[in-house]
Amino acid sequence: MSANPNYKAELVGVFGHPVAENPTVVMEEAGFQALGLNWRYLTIEVLPEDLAAAMRGMRAFNMKGINLTIPHKVEVLKYLDEVKPDAALMGAVNTVVRIGDKLVGENTDGKGFMRALTQDAKVNPKGKKVLVLGAGGAARSITVELALAGAQQITIVNRSVERGKGLTELINTKTPAKASFAAWQGRYAIQGDTDILVNATSIGLPPLSDEKPEIDYATIRPGMVVCDVIPAPSTPFLKEAQERGAKSVDGLGMLVYQGAIGFKLWTGLEAPVKAMYQALAKAFNI
């Protein structure tokens, strides 16, 4: 035994509600094990009214960082010491990094989505027309990244007019892309010239994993690229798209890549992406 043994694990994790079926722990702990790190990833149920207390607890426990999922990505901003410019632009944070005594907010959702889209699916969004379902935290990060990557036109479809128009204005005033808003009423029909369709809503998350966005699936055409942010190898939404000849991009790749970015932010080390993906694939019986 060494003269000065260290039994203390470094702690990171996720705050969310619901969170029990969030699979991030599987890939992050696989990454820690692959690199021989004594780190632990905690999956923690935090009700909306308890977020302030949870963030104080994070500080008290000297945690190295935390992920935020539904419904905390926007609300967490008020509890941070610093927010990186791109996350501030998006108005949403999904990853917090502890740097000294400061809690710094980042957003890896859009970056993870872009890696899955460009590296795995080999799709370049430059000059493309994109339709995004939803206007929450995931939608904000994805649309900003798509806009900065050169997407020509972004249509935001959302049931909340105020939130949808707010995101549309953000894209139009803060990025080079052009955006428009469409109110989501009934079965929404996808415009025929849409190149990329993204479900950035929580529809399809457990316990409602059998549900799919209310759109007219007959308007999905062959050659369209259809993406889902739900972290699963397939969803009812993607199955419908595949049956109509569309190219699908699942949320599993997005999850792995955004997790890998967070891994490096926390540990300072390059993430073992292959080991992380294999752990998730095993968990999903792929």
Domain ranges in the chain are 10-107+253-283, 110-249
Residues of the chain with pLDDT under 50: none
Q: Which of 125, 81, 139 is nearest to 106 (CA)?
A: 81
Are 109 and 137 in contact, with CB atoms under 8 Å apart?
yes
CA-to-CA distance for 138 and 255, rounded, in angstroms?
Answer: 12
CATH class of segment(s) 10-107+253-283: alpha beta
Domain 10-107+253-283 identical in fold to domain 110-249: yes
Percent of the chain with pLDDT over 90: 87
Task: Look over the chain and give the mean of its residue pLDDT values, rounded to a whole number.
Answer: 94
C-alpha of 191 from chain center: 25
| Cβ burial 160-170 (10 Å sphere, 16+ → b, else e) | eeebbbbbbeb
Degrees to nearest 5, angle at CA 250 with 258 and 255:
15
The pLDDT assigned to 123 comes to 96
Query: What strand order describes the sheet that includes 102-106?
Result: 39-45, 10-16, 65-68, 95-99, 102-106, 82-83
In the CATH scheme, what architecture does the domain 110-249 have? 3-Layer(aba) Sandwich (3.40)
The pLDDT assigned to 121 comes to 92
Q: Please identify every residue annotated as catalytic.
A: 73
Q: Phi/psi class of residue 211: alpha, beta or left (left: φ > 0; alpha: ψ in -120 to 50)?
A: beta
The pLDDT assigned to 72 comes to 94
The pLDDT assigned to 206 comes to 79
